[in-house]
Structure 1
Amino acid sequence: MNRRMLLGAGLGLTGFAITGRAQAQAITLNGASQFNDEHAFTRCLVRFEELVKQYYGKPINFTLHKNSSLGLEKQYFEYMAQGRAVDYGIVSPAHMSTFSRAAPFIDAPFLFRDLAHWNRVLDQDMLKPIADEVEKRARVMLIGYAGGGVRNIFASRPAGNLEALRGMKVRVQGAPIWSRTFAAAGMSPTVIAYNEVYNAIQNNVIEAGENEAAGVEQMRFYEVAPHLSMTQHAITIRPLCFSSATFSRLPADLQAAIRRAGTEASAYGRQIESTEDGQKIAALESAGRLKRVAFTDRDALQQKVAPVLDTYAREIDAEAIMRRIGEATS
């Protein structure tokens, strides 16, 4: 049965299968990941499953569809909003912009000073107003925040300063804030589907993309873009999402287990990704697959981008959130 047939059949709707005439109903939850078993996002989702089972203490089934077998994160979020096909998954905030203009802002370039600042913001739950808006408009709950990888630019040619970035054709995420900030830096941003980036660089449609180490490794971007410019322009935030439609049909004790597991699994995901990020880059460089390029104009790059962030925050009524994030101590 192909993917279209599976989705058409409603795969992923929370299932209540009768396993026997005298047995209780069994609940099945379906998750989705673009990546394989080794990726931090997949491991985070596996830990979520383990913790839900532990805290719920009753029979429950999980099916995690990996390696993009149900499409990409954009589709996962749409399925969760519709209450079909996917019950839980990790999704980039860029894919929530249809429902919340402010959502992509939590993952914006140069929003965080460093990992300590990033962790402080998440620990203080400063993103709650955006999570509330997403749940209200999209009917998708943000039950935790994974991520933690520092994003850099991988390119087919080295770029160690602003002048080298000028005019570079780079793939960015679909949210407007990404195109605006990269354009302000003098680059030529374009939105391309994540699974098409490799071929786009190989065919000279673009010269570069931007990602954390786990993504560069998983998608083998180093094969077509072996130069990693250490711009350190963003630290990933990847919400662990759960369909509100599914959640509303679950018993109260399972709902409590899901909320608790979401917080703890996401913290685990942040820890492993932030820890392994540098290790992955070092391993790729040691193997001769990647070459780090020191970026000497980071402060100047941030100054170019700052007015764009300020303007965007005003447009989406996120000035208060941006101010709180900026004032947070690390």
Structure 2
Amino acid sequence: MKPVKTLAAALLASVAFATTAMACEITLRSSDTHPDGYPTVEAVKYMGKLVEERTDGRICVEVFHSAQLGEEKDTIEQTKFGVIDLNRVSMGPFNNLVEETKVVSLPYIFKSVEHMHHVMDGPIGDEILAAFEPHGYVGLAFYDGGSRSFYNKVKPIKSIDDLKGMKVRVMQSDIFVDMMSALGANATPMPYGEVYSAIQTGVIDGAENNWPSFESSGHYEVAGYYTLDEHLIVPEVLVMSKISWDKLSPEDQATVRQAARESVPEMRKMWVAREKASEDKVLAAGVEVITQIDKEPFMAAMDSVYEKHVTSDKLKDLVARIRATD
């Protein structure tokens, strides 16, 4: 199936180029697994608008949403080799490649969304963005990924014991797999696009994600229980292929980088509104939302995850600096 998907993606991309190449000297292809209208998709569109305006139409950004160019794992590879120019990706799939991304993917590393903003908008965020470059990517900006919580079709999760033996989809990340094991569940890594049918058919019992993803994917239609344990507050990252980046002049590079940074506050405004709209839609559909939950046992269970993944002095220092940030 994979070669067919790759061919279809290539054909789709070539059609888009035919319509945009006439107007723009450079067209940057940007990938996102989320649907059109999703805050990350709209943020990259906003960035593209700024770039087009500031280069007098020489550089355009074409956003391919809804996994049109493939699921995240595949698009990460394509971005490295310059087949895709820009990519909005969850941090998890980068964990085994860019060591620093492990730390911001750890459960309960951030005290709140506001704390995450303070960290990622400062020197620590810049340091993590720079860590992508040796691997063939240029880190441009961090977007919000909300607070991730558990949902399933079997029963309400009110305590850590309710997770025992449950088959839960996670991103293809060792940290996420180990997190689920520490909680007593059976982690099932799989692409985001396969989750709906997997829950529906009983291949898995549930998954974990934020309000907008839970809603926009339609997962709330097949998973009637949502527990606000907020175990992860993981920023998402916008990267550019180093191959594509190096083709730009220093002036155009600065324009792209600045436009990406300016898209962040716009994304955050859209995110807050989208979270509320998604929550309202899920509640109206009759999903049982569990808000009263003791997080302490969940947090205590994460000691083994930190011990396994925070092994180098560099990562230990990064954890300490994040925790020391107000």
> Is TM > 0.5 for Structure 1 vs Structure 2?
yes
Aligned residue pairs total 320
**1:44 corresponding residue in structure 2:** 43
**2:301 corresponding residue in structure 1:** 304
Question: What is the TM-score normalised by the length of structure 2?
Answer: 0.89
More displaced, 291-300 or 57-66?
57-66
Shift of 1:25: 7.4
Q: Spell out the pairing of 1:311-326 with structure 2 (5 A cutoff).
A: 311-314=308-311, 317-326=314-323
Q: Could you say if the C-alpha distance between residues 43 and 18 of structure 1 is closer, same or farther in structure 2, counting changes exceeding 3 Å?
A: closer
**1:215 corresponding residue in structure 2:** 213
The reply on whether 1:189 has 2:196 as its aligned counterpart is: no
Contact 1:33 1:68 in 2 (8 A): yes
Shift of 1:60: 2.5
Contact 1:247 1:255 in 2 (8 A): yes
**1:124 corresponding residue in structure 2:** 122
Measure, in 2, the Cα distance between the counterparts of 1:282 and 1:53: 36
Q: Could you say if the C-alpha distance between residues 18 and 123 of structure 1 is closer, same or farther in structure 2, counting changes exceeding 3 Å?
A: closer
**1:241 corresponding residue in structure 2:** 239
Post-superposition Cα deviations, 1:107-128, rounded to whole Å, max 9, x if no partner, equal 2221111112111101213133
> Which residue, out of 278, 291, 303, partners 1:294?
291
The reply on whether 1:258 has 2:260 as its aligned counterpart is: no
Name the SS for the 1:149 alignment partner. coil
> Which residue, out of 94, 97, 105, partners 2:95?
97
Shift of 1:18: 8.0
Cα root mean square deviation, aligned? 2.5
Shift of 1:11: 4.7
Measure, in 2, the Cα distance between the counterparts of 1:204 and 1:7: 30
Measure, in 2, the Cα distance between the counterparts of 1:163 and 1:233: 15
Shift of 1:272: 2.2
The reply on whether 1:169 has 2:181 as its aligned counterpart is: no
Question: What is the TM-score normalised by the length of structure 1?
Answer: 0.88
**1:35 corresponding residue in structure 2:** 34
Name the SS for the 1:126 alignment partner. helix
Measure, in 2, the Cα distance between the counterparts of 1:10 and 1:218: 23
**1:327 corresponding residue in structure 2:** 324
**2:280 corresponding residue in structure 1:** 282
Structure 1 residue runs without a partner (length 5+):
none
Q: Could you say if the C-alpha distance between residues 71 and 278 of structure 1 is closer, same or farther in structure 2, counting changes exceeding 3 Å?
A: same
Measure, in 2, the Cα distance between the counterparts of 1:243 and 1:177: 25
More displaced, 237-246 or 97-106?
97-106
Q: Which amino acid aligns with 2:123?
A: D
More displaced, 273-282 or 199-208?
273-282
Measure, in 2, the Cα distance between the counterparts of 1:18 and 1:152: 42
Q: Could you say if the C-alpha distance between residues 269 and 310 of structure 1 is closer, same or farther in structure 2, counting changes exceeding 3 Å?
A: farther
Measure, in 1, the Cα distance between the counterparts of 2:123 and 2:71: 27
Measure, in 2, the Cα distance between the counterparts of 1:153 and 1:48: 32
Measure, in 1, the Cα distance between the counterparts of 2:123 and 2:98: 18
Shift of 1:3: 5.3
Shift of 1:304: 1.2
**1:108 corresponding residue in structure 2:** 106
Q: Could you say if the C-alpha distance between residues 278 and 316 of structure 1 is closer, same or farther in structure 2, counting changes exceeding 3 Å?
A: farther
Q: Could you say if the C-alpha distance between residues 97 and 296 of structure 1 is closer, same or farther in structure 2, counting changes exceeding 3 Å?
A: closer
Measure, in 2, the Cα distance between the counterparts of 1:186 and 1:45: 38
Post-superposition Cα deviations, 1:254-279, rounded to whole Å, max 9, x if no partner, equal 11110101111123223322443244
Shift of 1:185: 1.5
Post-superposition Cα deviations, 1:150-195, rounded to whole Å, max 9, x if no partner, equal 1111111211111212221111111111111121112221211211
Structure 2 residue runs without a partner (length 5+):
none
The reply on whether 1:269 has 2:267 as its aligned counterpart is: yes
More displaced, 263-272 or 310-319?
310-319
Q: Where in structure 1 do 4 or more consecutive aligned residues deviate above 4 Å?
A: 6-12, 15-19
Contact 1:183 1:189 in 2 (8 A): yes
Q: Could you say if the C-alpha distance between residues 189 and 315 of structure 1 is closer, same or farther in structure 2, counting changes exceeding 3 Å?
A: farther
